Amino acid sequence: MSLNYQSFNERWGFTLIETILVAGIISIGLLTTARLFPFGLRAKKSAEQYSIASLLGQQIMEEIKEKGYDALSTLYPSNSLNYGLKEGDFEEYKEYKWRVEWWDTEIPNLRRVRVRILGKEDRRLYFDLTTYLAKRD
């Protein structure tokens, strides 16, 4: 039983139409994958921005806690005795700014402190952290 050349090609070879179909399917898959890259890059940039803002906010809050209850009214003054507010910029991270607010609560010798990290240009809120400080006697 011998196979001639024509019957071998008919059984084992690919036609031009099959090759075009496979190339089309692969092209569609590659184009779809390529369209996803910008979304991934934007998500990465956004995650970096929120991570930096979180670290900056935690750093400010730790400094406030270290200085204590009594330092709030001098570091973050206001016209009111029961409220303080101050905003500032970061030297190293120019695209962010910070805002610290504090309030006296209904409980004597207890203040609520809020630290916010905002975008400098768009004033977008990246991070908001609240804690309470008690006066130590």
**In the prediction, which pLDDT does 120 show?**
82
In a domain, 111, yes or no: yes
In a domain, 10, yes or no: no
Q: Work out how many domains the chain is built from and give that number.
A: 1
For 76, the domain range is 15-134
Query: Pairing mode, if any, of strands 83-89 and 96-104?
Result: antiparallel
In a domain, 65, yes or no: yes
Please give the Cα distance from 107 to 9 (Å, whole number). 91
Instruction: Kindly report the CATH number assigned to the domain that includes residue 27.
Output: 3.30.1300.30
In a domain, 54, yes or no: yes
In a domain, 5, yes or no: no
Decide: helix, strand or coil at residue 39: helix
What is the chain's length?
137
Decide: helix, strand or coil at residue 78: coil
Contacts of 31 (CB under 8 A, 6+ apart): none
Evaluate if pTM is beyond 0.85.
no
Q: What average pLDDT does this structure show over 58-73?
A: 92
CA distance between the termini of the chain: 106
Provide the percentage of residues in the chain whose pLDDT is more than 90.
Answer: 50
